[in-house]
Chain A
Amino acid sequence: LAKTTQPISMDSYEGQEVNITCSHNNIATNDYITWYQQFPSQGPRFIIQGYKTKVTNEVASLFIPADRKSSTLSLPRVSLSDTAVYYCLADQSGTYKYIFGTGTRLKVLA
């Protein structure tokens, strides 16, 4: 099963761009990468998903290099309300057995 590795925590300041990298060395050819955001005592919220190159939506961008061994979630101009845990998930080759892991705890400082 594909496993993802993320930094445990990150600090940033308001207005900065934040990049969170996820390593996934053994994802299958057709596997997607998905990112979720979770606030305390709430369920995770879908942010973005991608298969290759770059995907952008209204809240974030996802960069996946050609070798697909890692991916980077980019949050432009973060605010205090972006303080949360961010999870990177890799498909499990069609099993739908999503492994969330422990995520990256992002703290945005004023």
Chain B
Amino acid sequence: EAGVTQSPTHLIKTRGQQVTLRCSPISGHTSVYWYQQALGLGLQFLLWYDEGEERNRGNFPPRFSGRQFPNYSSELNVNALELEDSALYLCASSRRTGGDVREQYFGPGTRLTVT
């Protein structure tokens, strides 16, 4: 079974630019979660998508947005990049029902550097 995949692996952008990160969940998983992990820090919950809808979001400004496609893959968009957006962005997927939502499977992440 293929795991969660993310692209690109690494990305370098300059302040003010926009970036799009992509995630493909495990087959059969309908929920996709996005997290931000700044260097040396814990994971900060960004967004949760399920069945194409945004179900919840963390304490991040509106310039962080995303969407989920009919095939359950997802994109995370960050507009007007700031230096503090430099981080590892992790995508995770899970099944939607019952206790399975807690068993999230994570991708390898996208390392974003903003200069």
User: Which A residues touch B90, using CB under 8 A?
Assistant: 43-44
CA distance A44 to B91 in the complex (A): 10
Are A96 and B43 in contact, with the CB atoms below 8 A?
Answer: no
- Show 8 residue pairs from A and B whose CB-CB distance is below 8 angstroms, ordered by the A residue: A41-B109, A43-B107, A43-B109, A44-B90, A45-B106, A46-B103, A87-B42, A99-B45
Q: Which of A's residues lie within 8 Å of B, judged by CB? A: 32, 34, 36, 41-46, 49, 87, 89, 91, 95-103
> CB within 8 A of B101: which of A41, A96, A100?
A96
- In the complex, A36 Cα to B79 Cα: how many Å? 30
B35 within 8 A of A: yes
* Number of cross-chain contacts by CB at 8 Å: 58
B-side interface residues, number (CB < 8 Å):
26
Check if A98 sits within 8 Å of B45, measured CB to CB: yes
CB interface residues, B 95-112, toward A, < 8 Å: 99, 101-109
Residue contact A100 to B55, C-beta cutoff 8 Å: no
Q: Output the residue of B56, B58, B102 with the most chain A CB within 10 A.
A: B102
With a CB–CB cut-off of 8 A, which chain A residues contact B56?
A: 95-97
Q: A49-B99, A96-B55 are in contact. Are A44 and B48 (CB under 8 A)?
A: no
**Chain A nearest CB, measured from B3 CB (Å):** 9
* Cβ-closest chain A residue relative to B101: A96
* Chain B minimum-CB-distance residue to A48: B103
Are B42 and A102 neighbours in the complex by a CB distance under 8 Å?
Answer: yes
Give residues 64-113 of B contacting A (CB, 8 Å). Answer: 88, 90, 92, 99, 101-109
Give complex CA distance A43, B43 in Å. Answer: 10
Residues of chain B with a CB closer than 8 A to A41's CB: 88, 109
Instruction: Report whether A49 and B102 are in contact in the complex, using a CB–CB cutoff of 8 Å.
Output: yes
Shortest Cβ distance from B43 into A: residue: A100
Contact check, A32 vs B108: say whether CB atoms are below 8 A apart: no
What CA separation (Å) do A46 and B101 show in the bound complex?
11
B1-44 residues with Cβ-Cβ distance < 8 A to A are 4, 31, 33, 35, 41-44
